[in-house]
Structure formats: C-alpha cells, structure tokens
Amino acid sequence: MTDPYAHGTPADDFHTWVKLAPTPCPDCECCAARLCELGRLHAFGCGAVADPGDWEIVRDCPCSAETTEGTEAHRAAQVRDARRRRKEGDR
C-alpha cells in the first residue's frame, strides 16, 4: 500500500504547525497550498500557521495578506479600520 499522503503520524495531531507540504500553492511562490488555505483563515496569515522555521519565508505571502480580499486578515483589517473610524468620530 503506497499512499503518498500516509506519511503523517498520530503525533502530528498535537500541534497546529503546518509543514511546507509538497503540493505548492498555485498563487504564490512561498507556501504549500494547504498552508495558504489555513493562512487565509487566520488573522495573521500564513506566517501564523507555518512552521516557525518557515515563518520568514511565508510571512509576506500574498495569499493571506490583508490586502487580499476574502482572507481573515483582510476582514480583521476592515474591522480595525471601522473601529478606528468610529473612534475618530464623525467630522
């Protein structure tokens, strides 16, 4: 039985770091597709879900950037903006 995806061990379930998997993301040069998938759901993007050793490589990933619509970082930035505007008050 040769399942290429069967390399994970039960111990992997204890942490949330995502290894740079062999399937590259189609939208960027830095991440694995799976990493970007998770990075988009995180307010701090790919850098927050990547292995700490890969952080420098993936922190500028465009896929999970707050300038990219549809990402959690984008949503968080909008919330932050709205809050700031509210705080500044109507002029």
User: Site residues (CB under 5 A) for Zn ion?
Assistant: 25, 27-28, 31, 36, 39, 46, 61, 63
Q: What is the DSSP letter of 41?
A: T
At closest approach, how far in Å is the CB of 38 from Zn ion?
9
CB closer to Zn ion, 31 vs 73? 31
CB closer to Zn ion, 55 vs 78? 55
**Alpha-carbon dihedral of residues 59, 48, 50, 40, nearest 10 degrees?**
-80
Q: Which residue has the tokens 């998997």?
A: 21
At closest approach, how far in Å is the CB of 55 from Zn ion?
11
| Alpha-carbon distances, residue 23 vs 31, 37, 44 (angstroms) | 9, 12, 22
At closest approach, how far in Å is the CB of 64 from Zn ion?
5
